[in-house]
Amino acid sequence: MLLGRSGKGRHRRHGAKQAFEDKLTNVGFLRTQIELVDCVFDENEVDEIWITFPDPQIKYKRTKHRMTNPDFLNKYKKILKPNGMVHLKTDSEYMHGYTLGLLQGLGLTIEYAHHDVYGTTNAPKEVTNIQTYYESQYLAINKKITYLRFNFS
């Protein structure tokens, strides 16, 4: 499951077009409000969740809208299979730091974290081999991309 900015219509369709061209049979696309994610998927149904370049919602009063706030984490935990992973890829150091601190405070297992995933030699290939539209835009202007991977076990 991939969560992130919807972007322009042509960019939203790119993933569906690519999946079709690659004849992928284990992929689906669903557009819904993130608050309903636990109503759309059954308990323990999802293998992985990728949160890509979400709005960091920097203002304190917007905390409840951050895609890694405790309420959303509880929803993700419910739909993830045991040992399922959550991935966060963002250009926002703020979002990365907020999420890292929150996860540490909750005692969750952080599998990998880096503030410049393209500036390290040990970055997971599945993270650097696929770039979103926004990511390619940010990399073109030398903006650092952060990444972290965690689970609830």
Report, as residue numbers or ranges, the catalytic residues. Answer: 55
Compute CA 114 distance to the chain's CA centroid, rounded to the nearest angstrom: 14
Alpha-carbon distance values, 133 to 5, 10, 24, 47 (Å): 10, 11, 20, 24
Phi/psi for 147 (5° steps) reads -150, 140
- Smallest CA-to-CA distance from 96 within 135, 52, 133 is with 52
Q: Structure tokens of 41?
A: 């998927």
